[in-house]
Structure 1
Amino acid sequence: MTLADTLNAVSWARRHTVDVLSRWQVPPDFVETARLLVSELTTNAIRHAEPTEEPSSHSPLAEVGTVGLMLWLDTPRLVLQVQDHDPRPPVVKSAGQDAENGRGLFLVDCMSARWGFYYPTPGLKAVWAELSLVPDTGRHPPAGPRGDQVPPLTVARALVGLRAT
């Protein structure tokens, strides 16, 4: 799915993800996690996207670029991928518990089985996250990028914020 790099693209990406994963009969708990991860990946892509070509100055889309969303199911794993035109690699940042932003990739790192990025073509970056669709029987708090425990309040705030949108 190709989306304009505008703020409403995040909600469209979430809706598309829920619709596709529901049709694929992915269990609801995994759909909710995928929805959060797609939201974070798309938000990052939009914040850092650059237009791919120079549109006419008379066009209402003169400042709009694109980001891409791809989902694929390879049971027992689900891969979520967002593409943008920012050449810089994604970086997990440390954000305080009261920070209002800056923890998108931290959540991706904590809630996915693994994630990464690559450059499929010159000028295009793809950031992906993989979810294991096998339920975790020994529930334990997820570890952060340096092995530290993710504060439950951080994850709870992200989920509450996502449900409100």
Structure 2
Amino acid sequence: MARLHLVTAASAVAVAREFVHQALRYWKLDDYAADVALMMSELVSNAVKETGFYDRQPLPWEVTAGHVMAIQLRAVGDELYVEVWDRSPREPAKQHVTADAEGGRGLHLVEALAKDWGIYRPPAGGKIVWALLATTQSPNPQLDGQTLQLRVPDELNPQPGPVKDQASIALMQRVLDGLRNLL
């Protein structure tokens, strides 16, 4: 599993694409990078349009907890999950597009590339839009102890509530995944 939190700004789309390429290179699943990066780009773009600064880069003091999204890649056997969480409860909908339309094809592309896709409502709120890609191989990273990320130290006074709880749960999930990889 690889996860990243981003501000819902237009630049998040490019960062998400690079995140996909780096993670899949590390997992030795490079052959799937183009399709997965496209799916991630479309899902991130939808999240930015729904909850963020789509038309400009925000000033630092404009960013609130409502402008944060999480992106995640999970490999389970020979299946690869692309997941994007944002705080909006509104579900993305496929749009009817014409041949000369400049946008609106995102979910159509995801549907064409994915084995399946859908929406999950986590207890923390918001939604996770996910897509599943079948692969012909499992990830095969070099386990070097560098993949476990550190959590935010308590002395930085992170805000209590669902975001801090979700970060703690995510840390525990990474620890559990790391321990399972050792078996």
Partner of 1:110: 112
Deviation of the 1:112 alpha carbon: 0.4
Alignment partners' CA distance in 1, 2:116 and 2:107 = 11
After superposition, the C-alpha distances for 1:37-84 in whole angstroms (9 at most, x for unaligned) are 000000001000169xxxxxxx83324511110101112110000011
Equivalent residues of 2:43, 2:106 under 8 A apart: yes
TM-score (norm 2): 0.65
Partner of 2:147: none
Deviation of the 1:129 alpha carbon: 0.2
After superposition, the C-alpha distances for 1:136-164 in whole angstroms (9 at most, x for unaligned) are xxxxxxxxxxxxxxxxxxxxxxxxxxxxx
Alignment partners' CA distance in 2, 1:99 and 1:4 = 28
Deviation of the 1:122 alpha carbon: 4.8
Alignment partners' CA distance in 2, 1:39 and 1:50 = 15
After superposition, the C-alpha distances for 1:103-140 in whole angstroms (9 at most, x for unaligned) are 101111111000000110253210000000139xxxxx
For the residue of structure 2 that corresponds to 1:45, the secondary structure is: helix
Aligned residues: 127
Partner of 2:18: 15
Identity of counterpart residues, as a percentage?
31
For the residue of structure 1 that corresponds to 2:83, the secondary structure is: strand
Alignment partners' CA distance in 1, 2:103 and 2:14 = 17
Alignment partners' CA distance in 2, 1:131 and 1:7 = 25
TM-score (norm 1): 0.72
Residues 43 and 6 (structure 1 numbering): CA distance in 2 closer, same or farther, change over 3 Å?
Answer: same
After superposition, the C-alpha distances for 1:85-112 in whole angstroms (9 at most, x for unaligned) are 1111121112112211111011111110
Equivalent residues of 1:50, 1:86 under 8 A apart: no
Alignment partners' CA distance in 1, 2:60 and 2:134 = 42
Q: Give runs of aligned pairs for residues 83-122 of structure 1, distance below 5 A.
A: 83-122=85-124
Name the structure with the higher helix share: 2
Structure 2 unmatched runs, 5+: 54-58, 138-183
Structure 1 unmatched runs, 5+: 52-58, 136-165
For the residue of structure 1 that corresponds to 2:69, the secondary structure is: strand
Deviation beyond 4 Å, 4+ runs, structure 1: none
Q: What is the CA RMSD across the aligned residues, in angstroms?
A: 1.9
